[in-house]
């Protein structure tokens, strides 16, 4: 007799890793700091994997210049708060997901707002070097697993992206700064980052260029890493 059982939303993922494992993701809480080209795709993939709580942090509004690379940036969403648009998208994908929005610019003065809810993982996809440094210190202090996205601007080849310890990064100006910071601060243990080995393209402009495929690939790689870390547990 033909099997008429209706496929469930996450059934294709369950085929690979098991129904119980996918169900366990509903109990996980992930914070994503920065909901732009990288962070938006992190949130997208986590929602499509059944993560139960996603905390999205971004103070910015969608600009027309975001349309070439950010999953939430459309002509119809220009001018709206990124966290509002992303919450709506997540709820359309995974209605059971608990979305917490923080629409603030995060620095050392208000960093504690990120830790007001229990976290199983923190993804740093922000652009501010000082904030990235504070995130590393605070996550190490609180023993919260985290991964930090390095620079994806002025790069064209997504195949050169990799997830590595920060000491092993090459050809990444942002990673160079943070590598020195980790060494100078004598931060112990692994600091995992998403970085590209590709040499940045020189544009002669302080504002970096960007494309559709490197930030998106970076976000998907990070989400994959977080999900696989959850599977280990």
Name which residue leads in pLDDT, 50 or 7: 50
pLDDT of residue 164 exceeding 70, the answer is yes
For the chain, which domains are there? Answer: 14-232 (3.40.50.720)
| pLDDT tens, position by position, 40-97 | 999 999 999 999 999 999 999 999 999 999 999 999 999 999 999 999 999 999 999 9
Burial call 171-188: b when 16+ CB within 10 Å, e when fewer: ebebbeebbebbeeeebe
Q: How far apart are CA 182 and CA 191, in angstroms?
A: 8
Name which residue leads in pLDDT, 204 or 54: 54
For the whole model, what pTM was predicted? Answer: 0.95
Q: What is the pLDDT of residue 8?
A: 82
**Across all residues in the chain, what is the average pLDDT?**
95
Q: Which residues contact 146 (CB under 8 A, 6 or more apart)?
A: 121, 122, 123, 124, 135, 136, 139, 192
Q: How far apart are CA 25 and CA 214, in angstroms?
A: 27
Q: What is the pLDDT of residue 49?
A: 98
Average pLDDT for 86-113: 97
Q: What is the pLDDT of residue 6?
A: 52
| pLDDT tens, position by position, 113-157 | 999 999 999 999 999 999 999 999 999 999 999 999 999 999 999
pLDDT of residue 233 exceeding 50, the answer is yes
Q: How far apart are CA 3 and CA 1, in angstroms?
A: 6
User: Collapsing DSSP states into helix, strand and coil, what is residue 134?
Assistant: helix
């Amino acid at each position: 007799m033909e099997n008429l059982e209706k496929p469930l939303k996450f059934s294709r993922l369950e085929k690979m890793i098991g129904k119980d494992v996918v169900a366990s993701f509903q109990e996980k809480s992930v914070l994503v700091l920065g909901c732009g080209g990288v962070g938006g795709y992190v949130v997208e993939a986590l929602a499509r994997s059944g993560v139960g709580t996603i905390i999205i942090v971004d103070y910015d509004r969608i600009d027309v210049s975001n349309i070439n690379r950010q999953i939430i940036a459309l002509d119809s969403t220009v001018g709206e708060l990124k966290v509002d648009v992303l919450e709506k998208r997540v709820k359309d994908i995974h209605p059971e997901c608990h979305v917490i929005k923080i629409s603030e610019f995060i620095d050392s003065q208000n960093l504690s707002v990120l830790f007001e809810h229990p976290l199983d993982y923190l993804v740093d996809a922000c652009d501010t070097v000082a904030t990235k440094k504070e995130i590393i210190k605070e996550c190490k202090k609180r023993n919260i697993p985290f991964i930090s996205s390095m620079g994806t601007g002025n790069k064209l080849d997504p195949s050169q992206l990799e997830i590595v310890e920060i000491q092993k990064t090459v050809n990444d100006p942002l990673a160079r700064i943070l590598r020195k910071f980790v060494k100078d601060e004598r931060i112990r243990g692994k600091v995992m980052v998403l970085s590209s080995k590709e040499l940045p393209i020189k544009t002669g402009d302080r504002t970096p260029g960007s494309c559709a495929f490197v930030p998106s690939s970076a976000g998907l790689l990070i989400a994959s890493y977080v999900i696989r870390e959850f599977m280990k547990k």
